[in-house]
Structure 1
Amino acid sequence: MLKEVNSEEFKELAGKGLVLADFFSTTCGPCKMLGFVLKDVEKEFGDDLTILKVDFDQNKDLTAEYGVTGYPTLVLLKEGEEVGRLQGLQQKPVIIKLVEEHK
């Protein structure tokens, strides 16, 4: 599942299974490119991975809570605990490797 969420929805979904949080900005070119990559990653994992898109500017509480200082930033959570992080535009194989390591 690939879904844009607010803070409340994030807190609801982040503790369930394997979750990849994409902290992005609507004005960020690399963030937009990463969005296309994440659609491919979603196809790869199906229901085994939830991808939550978090707007950096509209969810300052979450960016502070997770210590996100730039975008795009991917934070991998397993049962609500951070198990991995990638910063900047990433290619599909790098993201898949990160998720596979924590399945």
Structure 2
Amino acid sequence: MSLQTISSTTFRSAIREKGVTLVDFGAKWCPPCKVLLPILEELEREEGDRLSILQVDCDESPEIASEFGVMSMPTVILFYNGEPVDKFIGLRTKGVYQAALARYV
């Protein structure tokens, strides 16, 4: 399973207006991003019906990364009802994301 990659043109339409979306800002060459990917894929398998998990390649869509203040990778932003409500900079454990999601899902 692979997460859906979104771009500047598809970003707004991909974020859930109702509910939870996690957006992973990273790059193909980023080692911590590669470690994070299986964690997010596992979360998607477990919680996929209750949330969306998407990826933004910062090299391909730098304007979206800039808009949300992404300065280092990976950065994961949790959106609730279309608005950013939490931000995780750097590699985190699955439990960190689960705890954050529990407040919104």
Above 0.5 in TM-score? yes
Question: CA contact under 8 A between 2:16 and 2:52: conserved in structure 1?
Answer: no
Give the whole-Å Cα distance in 1 for the aligned partners of 2:16 and 2:101.
16
Give the TM-score of the pair, scaled to structure 2.
0.91
Matched with 1:8 is 9
Question: CA contact under 8 A between 1:2 and 1:50: conserved in structure 2?
Answer: no
Question: What letter corresponds to residue 11 of structure 2 in structure 1?
Answer: F
Matched with 2:34 is 32
Percent of aligned pairs with the same amino acid: 35
Structure that is richer in helix per residue: 1
RMSD: 1.3
Question: CA contact under 8 A between 2:75 and 2:88: conserved in structure 1?
Answer: yes
Matched with 1:81 is 83
Give the whole-Å Cα distance in 2 for the aligned partners of 1:96 and 1:42.
11
Give the TM-score of the pair, scaled to structure 1.
0.93
Unaligned 5+ runs, structure 1? none
Shift in Å, 1:2: 3.0
Give the whole-Å Cα distance in 1 for the aligned partners of 2:22 and 2:39.
13
